[in-house]
């Protein structure tokens, strides 16, 4: 074969990215250890794991944050009891909280996407907006309709019931933004755009 027509060598997935994705998938799992909290008999529990989803998006960026959540959800689907309360298996994706779980994936991606729009210096306001939009807005957008459908309740009742989660989720978003900002100041490579720039400089994407 003519050397000039040979295809370029395949680029390997950066080892550092694999490690970061694995760490944040594990973080989301660890945040389920305190267990769920069901307020007023709600069938959808309150957990700390959405906090991990926000952090994954804010620190890893859109695609790596989404991959960390995907790894976690695949492990849950495989039967590992990683959700709050030791839940796992395909059955959890058929329950009232299924929409919220599935919403974690686009939620992390949107959180990361907004942070990435801040380029090399995403500020506090952008980080908070990212966590609020992706970690709450997008997750609720998926969670509420599925809760209404699988819980056999009206969309309005599902939305009203979800309001009990809002104060805690806002606090999670604030803490996630603060932690992400502190991490980025101490470790600039935690800024998604900085990390991407370094990969490009190394000849990888």
What's 60's domain CATH number?
1.10.1760.20
Instruction: Note the pLDDT of residue 151.
Output: 86
Instruction: Note the pLDDT of residue 200.
Output: 77
In this structure, is residue 201 part of a structural domain?
no
In this structure, is residue 200 part of a structural domain?
no
d(CA 134, CA 54): 7
Instruction: Note the pLDDT of residue 189.
Output: 84
Domain region containing 178: 15-195
In this structure, is residue 85 part of a structural domain?
yes
pTM for the predicted model, two decimal places: 0.87
Which of the two residues, 12 and 166, has the higher pLDDT score?
166
Instruction: Note the pLDDT of residue 204.
Output: 55
What is the arithmetic mean of pLDDT over 51-77? 97
Average pLDDT, the chain: 88
In tens, the pLDDT along 138-192 reads 999 999 999 999 988 999 999 998 888 999 999 999 999 999 999 999 988 888 8
Q: How many CB atoms lie within 10 A of CB 90?
A: 10
> What percent of the chain is predicted at pLDDT more than 90?
66
Contact between 124 and 181 under an 8 Å Cβ cutoff? The reply is yes
Instruction: Note the pLDDT of residue 45.
Output: 67
In this structure, is residue 202 part of a structural domain?
no
Which of the two residues, 37 and 154, has the higher pLDDT score?
154
Q: State yes or no: pLDDT of 9 exceeds 50.
A: no
Which of the two residues, 99 and 13, has the higher pLDDT score?
99
In this structure, is residue 57 part of a structural domain?
yes
Position 199 confidence tier, pLDDT thresholds 50, 70, 90: confident
Contact between 21 and 60 under an 8 Å Cβ cutoff? The reply is yes
In this structure, is residue 166 part of a structural domain?
yes
What is the arithmetic mean of pLDDT over 17-44? 82
What is the helix (H) or strand (E) element at residue 23, kind and residue range? Answer: helix 15-30
Q: 88: Cβ–Cβ under 8 A, 6 or more apart, which residues?
A: 75, 76, 77, 78, 79, 80, 81, 82
In this structure, is residue 131 part of a structural domain?
yes
In tens, the pLDDT along 127-138 reads 999 999 999 999
Query: Quick one: how far is CA 143 from the chain centroid?
Result: 14
Contact between 179 and 55 under an 8 Å Cβ cutoff? The reply is yes
d(CA 38, CA 49): 14
Lowest mean pLDDT among 26-40, 107-121, 181-195: 26-40
Q: State yes or no: pLDDT of 24 exceeds 90.
A: yes
Structural domain count, the chain: 1
In this structure, is residue 155 part of a structural domain?
yes
Position 123 confidence tier, pLDDT thresholds 50, 70, 90: very high
Instruction: Note the pLDDT of residue 183.
Output: 94
Q: Which residue pairs from 15-19 have beta carbons closer than 8 angstroms and sit at least 24 positions apart in sequence?
A: 17/64
Where helices occur in 31-138 by DSSP H, the ranges are: 49-60, 62-77, 98-116, 124-132
């Amino acid at each position: 074969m003519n050397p000039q027509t040979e295809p370029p060598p395949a680029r390997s997935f950066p080892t550092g990215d694999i490690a970061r994705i694995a760490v944040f998938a594990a973080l989301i799992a660890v945040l389920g250890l305190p267990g769920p909290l069901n307020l007023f008999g709600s069938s959808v529990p309150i957990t700390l794991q959405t906090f991990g989803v926000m952090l994954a998006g804010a620190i890893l960026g859109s695609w790596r944050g989404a991959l960390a959540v995907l790894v976690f959800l695949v492990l849950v689907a495989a039967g590992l009891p990683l959700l709050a309360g030791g839940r796992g298996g395909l059955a959890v994706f058929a329950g009232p909280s299924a929409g919220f779980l599935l919403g974690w994936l686009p939620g992390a991606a949107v959180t990361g996407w907004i942070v990435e729009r801040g380029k090399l210096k995403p500020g506090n306001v952008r980080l908070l907006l990212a966590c609020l939009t992706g970690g709450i807005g997008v997750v609720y957008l998926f969670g509420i309709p599925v809760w209404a459908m699988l819980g056999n309740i009206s969309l309005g009742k599902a939305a009203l019931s979800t309001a009990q989660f809002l104060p805690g989720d806002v606090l999670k978003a604030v803490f996630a933004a603060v932690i992400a900002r502190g991490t980025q100041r101490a470790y600039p490579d935690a800024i998604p755009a900085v990390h991407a720039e370094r990969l490009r400089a190394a000849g990888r994407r």
